[in-house]
Amino acid sequence: MASKTQINTPTIFKYIAQDKSGAVVNGKLKAIDEESALQQINRLGLEPFSVSPYKEPFWEKDIKIFDRVPVLAIYTFTRQLSIMLKAGVPLVDALDSMRGESTNPKLNKAIDQVISDVSGGYTLSSAMKKHPTLFNTMFVNIVKAGESTGALDEVLLQLAGFINHDLRLSMGIKSAVRYPAIVVSITMLVGIYAVTFILPRFSSLFSSTKIELPLPTRILLGTDQFLQLYFYHIVIVVAVLIFAFLRYIKTKKGKLQYDKFLFFAPIFGPINQKMSLSRFCHVFETLNRAGVPILEALDISGKTVGNSYIQSRLSNVKSEVEMGRKVARSLNNHTKGIFPPHVLKMINVGEESGAMDDMLKEIATMTDIETEDLVKKLTATIEPVITVFMGIMILTLSLSIFLPIWDMYEALANN
């Protein structure tokens, strides 16, 4: 299959033509340029009158906000494609069968375009490169390496394994955080409801008596009055701060500082560190084993760690390796304090012994186990903290309501 060195994005053309019976027909087709569109029209047995680029109206465009492809669908597609190729099924037939099995419209549309491009002479990696939201740089380069080595099925299987690992780790962290987040949210909503609607109904009753309100009641009533007076001001200030923060972290400097903060944060920082190391080792090992050049493998691995702070350090590593230095020495120069010393030593041993791929795989496996342990410990620590938080909040609300009532009963009993 011939590969194309330069990829031109196909354009939709609309045409008006005459068929063999003399009837006027019109339609749309995809082509690289106008000349290619005319050739396609001629092959259809039509005599073209006019051909012009077609601008798609906004109501015909995809609504990408709601039309997403989950990672699980990409994993299933990758694994099944590798199995079919290993069984000897031709690439186009394997892709066509994937289109029939997938239930995601966006993925099916992408597979249609990949089939069309591959049938037209593109390599699989070149065809996938046109869909960066589905197949990222790492995915495309690993597929490209598999094509060049003639082991596309094995490389796709390795890639599916990596996607599955990344998916399981992300799901584990989300499930660990989901329960505390739900409990805290419900507790906060109940507290806001109590302060805003329940406690004010007792305030008129309390004000008609001459008893001194206890401290918890005074605090909550003051909070309620403050919210009523400055509610819109608070909403505006919070909205402005959130907008300014989101704009700042979209800048290069802001993103770098934010990712650095997340990397060294007290609670989730260690998990982020383990995940970045695991992802780097998994991707670098997969690319290196697939035959991707070392500089390109370092570049792609740095971009897929998911942290711009680590990426900036790894870009310095790539620059040193490009000048002829060893990978382990460059990592030691620029990632000390980020990657643990024993990891850097293991990479150095692997590079010296010529078994760096095996060593990277061992580091990744070891780091995955440590990450899962950290997530379990985090879950075990958060649950009692949440329980104590809920208890304190419920106790405060109860005391703020019932203490004045008890004082009122005592005052009435004494009178």
Q: 96 and 139: one domain?
A: yes
Q: 56 and 120: one domain?
A: no
In a domain? residue 4: no
Q: The domain containing residue 149 runs over which residues?
A: 71-163
The tally of domains found in the chain comes to 3
User: What's the confidence (pLDDT) of residue 100?
Assistant: 64
In a domain? residue 117: yes
Q: What is the pLDDT along the chain (415 residues), one digit of tens a residue?
A: 434 434 455 677 788 887 777 777 777 777 777 887 788 788 777 888 788 887 655 434 443 434 467 888 888 888 889 998 888 888 888 888 877 666 678 888 888 888 888 888 888 988 998 888 888 877 887 788 778 777 788 888 888 887 887 787 777 777 777 777 788 788 788 877 877 777 777 666 666 666 677 787 788 878 878 878 888 999 999 999 999 999 998 898 898 899 889 888 887 888 888 888 888 888 888 778 777 788 888 888 887 787 888 888 888 888 888 888 888 888 888 887 888 888 889 988 988 888 888 898 899 889 888 888 887 787 777 778 888 888 888 888 888 777 777 777 776 666 6
Q: 97 and 241: one domain?
A: no
Q: 97 and 234: one domain?
A: no
Q: 51 and 78: one domain?
A: no
Q: 250 and 390: one domain?
A: yes
Domain endpoint, select from 163, 187, 207: 163
Asked if 306 and 279 count as a contact pair (C-beta separation under 8 A), the reply is yes
User: What burial class does residue 126 get, using C-beta atoms within 10 Å of its C-beta: 0-12 exposed, 13-18 middle, 19+ buried?
Assistant: buried
Q: 122 and 268: one domain?
A: no
User: What's the confidence (pLDDT) of residue 280?
Assistant: 87
Q: 24 and 124: one domain?
A: no
In a domain? residue 209: yes
User: What's the confidence (pLDDT) of residue 52?
Assistant: 81
Q: 246 and 153: one domain?
A: no
In a domain? residue 39: yes
In a domain? residue 361: yes
What CATH number does residue 280 fall under?
Answer: 1.20.81.30
pTM of the predicted protein model: 0.64
Q: 250 and 339: one domain?
A: yes
Q: 30 and 149: one domain?
A: no
